[in-house]
């Protein structure tokens, strides 16, 4: 099961001109016969303006032992993509329970549900 995992996937740039292998949060396990998954962008570049849909992962305060990230990062929940599971290069780790709960709450706010 890859739900709640941090995975490496080819993720498109905003203009879709190129794709780069990047970490992503897997928000949903396989869907349908094509095994699509929903992922969110994870960036190591933390901007000055933090959006309500962003979650900062601080390595010195968050339990990083199961996440396998090497630098403070940000989950950008407004940057979502649905991809075939076969595009996942490998699993890096797992989001801890506190971050999973924060993801759920922020997704509810983002989509108004």
**Residue 93: predicted pLDDT:** 86
What digits encode the pLDDT tens for the residues 47-80?
899 999 999 988 776 566 667 787 889 999 999 9
pLDDT tens track for 11-51: 777 677 787 888 999 998 788 788 899 999 999 999 899 99
Q: Is 14 exposed, middle or buried (0-12, 13-18, 19+ CB in 10 A)?
A: exposed
CATH of the domain at 79: 2.30.30.110
**pLDDT of the residue at 95:** 86
| Predicted local confidence at residue 65, as pLDDT | 60
Cα distance between residue 42 and residue 104, in whole Å: 16
Residue 39: CB atoms within 10 A of its CB come to: 26
Cα 65 versus chain centre, distance: 17
Domain extent for 58: 5-111
pTM for the model: 0.83
Q: Structural domain tally of the chain?
A: 1
């Amino acid at each position: 099961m890859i739900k709640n995992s941090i995975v490496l996937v080819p993720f498109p740039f905003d203009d879709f001109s190129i794709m780069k292998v990047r970490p992503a949060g897997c928000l949903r396990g396989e869907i349908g016969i094509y095994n699509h998954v929903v992922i969110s962008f994870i960036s190591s570049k933390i901007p000055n303006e933090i959006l309500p849909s962003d979650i900062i992962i601080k390595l010195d305060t968050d339990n990083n032992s199961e996440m396998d990230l090497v630098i403070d990062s940000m989950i950008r929940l407004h940057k979502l993509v649905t991809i075939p599971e076969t595009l996942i290069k490998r699993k890096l780790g797992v989001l801890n329970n506190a971050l999973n709960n924060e993801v759920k709450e922020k997704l509810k706010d983002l989509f108004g549900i």
